[in-house]
Structure 1
Amino acid sequence: MVTLGRAGVAAGALGAPAARAAARRLLIRATLADLPSAPEQKKVPLFVDFAEEFWTDYSPHWKPSTRTSSRSRIDQLLIPHFGELPVDMIARSDINRWRDTMTKREGSFNRTIPIMSVMMQYAEKLGYRAKCSNPCRGVSRFKRELPERYLSADEYRRLGRALANHEFANPFVIPALLLLVYTGARASEIATLRWRYVQIPRLALPDSKTGPKTIYLNPQAIEILSGLDRRADDQLVFPALHREGPINLGEHWIRIRRKAALPDVRLHDLRHSFASAAIAKGIPLATIGKLLGHALPETTARYAHLADDIISESADRICSSLAGALGIAA
């Protein structure tokens, strides 16, 4: 009988994931004991050590915001669970067990497993794992019902009155919120907008969530920007009032939505509502995807049910008209 280590919480005790990995390694060695020796392989690090090697090599390719969030998830979610496992001993069963511990943090799991997958792919490239052995492959993410809220015509009117009758100390708040309404842009894209990106009749963003992006400006959006004093190219279009940096639109939105009696409407719902209004006007989903800057058609497809509703309603009106012409309608 082989003893792998001590159980319990004492120093040097093996946790369950590390014990399982050690047992797998011993079984592999026993199976291969009588076979001819293979060339010596690169020493495989523990995941906690590999995480630092991965970070040094790979993270410079990410945007600053991605680096910040990814570092936090590696330190808080991945290293505590996989840290003492050799990188080559992390199996799909380990990933599935980790998933089972995250049932109350489904969003965190869904955002972290792509990072783990990239790390395992990089481990293959470094020779720490066998090719095509990514243990994240085939592990399903949690299905989450993402709330989507669309403003009705009456709610748009209430929002318009609230914006027209509310005064902020920062004069840039209302123009920035109106630009969100008229363009369907992300709040971060408007908050961090600089004058050099404003190239009427478009905004040419060098970077966004999906990379470089063009936001096309309608006459209402152009009027908003034309009403502002243009400053130096590197200056923010919508700066904060009492500090350096961009305006905090989320903070101001809380007050506006309360005044408009829209307490459940998030700032991002203005983007959903822009898509909804475009569909109501018969604009194709592919065009809406370009307006919103979606990198993948699948992202825009989330609005397909709105188009189906409009088509169904149109079919009902046509059939009612035809039935009336035939003298069948009640």
Structure 2
Amino acid sequence: MAGRARQRSYVVHGSAADAAALRVRLAATPSVPSPAVITVGELLGMWLAADQPWKPSTLVGYTSVVRSLRRDRLAGVRAAALTPRLLRESLHRWRREGVSEAVAGARFRVLRSAVGWGWTERFLDVNPIRATRGPARPDARRPLTDEQVWALLGAADLALLEALANDTGSTSSARRLHRAEQDLLLVRLAGDTGARRGELAALKTADLTGRSLTISRGLSAGQLTTPKSGRARTITVGASTAALWHTLTERWTDRVAPDTLGPWLFSPHPDHHTRLGAEVLDRRFTRIRSTAAVPDATLHRLRHSVATFLVARGQILQAQHRLGHADAATTLREYAHALPDTDHAVADAIDARLHAPSDLGLPAPDRHGPDGR
């Protein structure tokens, strides 16, 4: 009967007490509507409330998208009645309403994920939009040019020199010097490692041994967690970047002696016992890019610059590892535009193979044009 709650069976691998505990939890859980009547809005709410392996920032983003979708007319449609055509019509309508391509794409991906999850969990009998293609991805991610990166480093370096020259020993000048030191290290690390801003904000002074940097933490919506890939990685940083890190940590240690320097690399206080948030690193970088006259630079574009540099050299696996992508497919999907143009070399190799000596004793084709050139 339409409208009746759907019955589900559970197998408990454990004791009778485990089964009883599960029964109590299920009894406290609201009944799930039948697949025949569950709406898109209801399914989105269930998907969002489920135990998902998301980072806090991902949950924040999905919550915002689900909130907007549940206000849309599509929320009242039965999930089982979704069709590719209805989804395409919704995409066209959103564009007419002034929704950007990025937001429309995010809505589509959330809908596809929620419906796929509902089918996997058997809240839906079918996945009605399984083969539906979404809107095209945005244009290729833009790296910064070498000149722009040099301008950013030069601006941060100049700010540090000025802070050193104007260090009078006062509290305000010491604060400016401390910030300028960290700002230079921030730009250097972002341009060297390609780390995400949340990973940069979560670095500790002990994470660098010699030139080996271990990235094992990240910030997501202000919460300390693992990197986006879910696992730590160790990379080698440039000699000048490592020297700057070690020099600065030695200075900071001397300044707080005989007290102990705190663990965090980027901190608002000289003792480094508290860390800066990722958004504060963004604000500091904004001042640097303004001085450098590179108004559209961001920490994330420095990450793209590292990726593009490596992919253009054909070092796909090195780029994957340095960026912390879960697999090389992600690296190729995001940065395929930077692959080196080797098509001419491929064509020449195939051409040479076609002109191998003939087993029939026929002369090899003339490689030159009709005019002999």
**TM-score in same-fold range (> 0.5):** yes
Change (3 A) 1:150 1:50: closer
Describe the shift of the 1:93–1:276 C-alpha distance in structure 2 as closer, same or farther (beyond 3 A): closer
Against the structure 1 CA distance between its residues 124 and 113, is the aligned structure 2 distance closer, same or farther, given a 3 Å change threshold?
same
**Shift of residue 71, structure 1, vs aligned partner:** 0.8
1:286 positional shift: 2.3
Confirm or deny that 1:214 pairs with 2:233: yes
- Shift of the 135–174 alpha-carbon distance from structure 1 to 2, 3 Å rule, reads same
Deviations 1:171-209 (A, max 9, x none): 422212211112121222102324565565121315223
Please give the secondary structure, in 2, of the residue aligned with 1:255: helix
Q: 1:203 to 1:112 in 2, by over 3 A?
A: farther
Matched with 2:194 is 184
**Aligned CA distance change for structure 1 residues 115 and 164 (closer, same or farther; 3 Å):** same
Which of 198, 202, 205 is the equivalent residue of 2:216?
205
Aligned CA distance change for structure 1 residues 276 and 56 (closer, same or farther; 3 Å) = closer
Counterpart selection for 1:111 from 72, 86, 106: 106
**2:58 counterpart residue number:** 66
1:57 aligns with 2:54: no
Q: Deviations over 1:65-87 (max 9, x none)?
A: 11111111101134523222222
| Distance of 1:303 and 1:186 partners within structure 2 | 16
- CA spacing shift, 1:232–1:191, aligned 2, 3 Å: farther
- TM-score, length of structure 2 as denominator length: 0.61
> In the TM superposition, what are the counterparts of 1:204-283 in structure 2 within 5 Å?
204-206=215-217, 207-218=226-237, 219-226=239-246, 227-228=248-249, 229=252, 235-240=263-268, 245-246=276-277, 248-278=280-310, 282=313
Higher alpha-carbon deviation: 168-177 or 179-188: 168-177
Cα distance in 1, alignment partners of residues 319 and 100 from structure 2: 32
After TM superposition, the runs of 4+ consecutive aligned structure 1 residues lying more than 6 A away are 230-234, 310-313
The equivalent of 2:9 in structure 1 is: none
2:150 pairs with 1:140: no
Among 91, 99, 109, the alignment partner of 1:99 is: 91
Contact 1:279 1:306 in 2 (8 A): yes
CA deviations 1:148-175 (Å, max 9, x no partner) are 13322x4444333211111573242221
- Contact 1:149–1:269 at 8 Å: present in 2 too? yes
CA distance in 2, matches of 1:233, 1:125: 50
Q: Does structure 2 retain, via aligned residues, the 8 Å contact 1:95–1:136?
A: no
Q: Which amino acid aligns with 2:133?
A: V
Count, aligned residues: 269
Residue of structure 2 in register with 1:15 after alignment: none
Give the match for residue 153 of structure 2: 160
Q: 1:210-268 deviations in whole A, cap 9, x for unaligned?
A: 32231413233332332325799994321245997425222122221222222233322
Report matched runs for 1:80-95 at 5 Å.
80-95=72-87
Q: Check the 8 A contact 1:203/1:215 in 2, yes or no.
A: yes
SS at match of 1:308: coil
Paired AA for residue 189 in structure 2: L
CA contact (8 A) 1:186 1:268 kept: yes
Deviations 1:113-172 (A, max 9, x none): 2221221123224444223x24153222234224513322x4444333211111573242
Q: Which of the numbers 182, 188, 212 marks the counterpart of 1:172? A: 182
In 2 relative to 1, CA 291–121 (structure 1 residues): closer, same or farther, beyond 3 Å?
Answer: same
SS in 1 for 2:215: strand
User: Is 1:129 aligned with 2:129?
Assistant: no
How far apart, in 2, do the equivalents of 1:129 and 1:307 lie? 42
Could you tell me how far apart the structure 1 residues matched to 2:138 and 2:78 are?
Answer: 32
Q: Percent identity?
A: 18
Sort the Cα spacing of 1:118 and 1:278 in 2 relative to 1 into closer, same or farther, 3 A: closer
Letter in 2 for 1:222: A
The Cα of 1:307 is off from its aligned counterpart by 4.7
Q: Is the 8 A contact 2:185 2:241 kept in 1?
A: no
Q: 1:56 to 1:304 in 2, by over 3 A?
A: closer
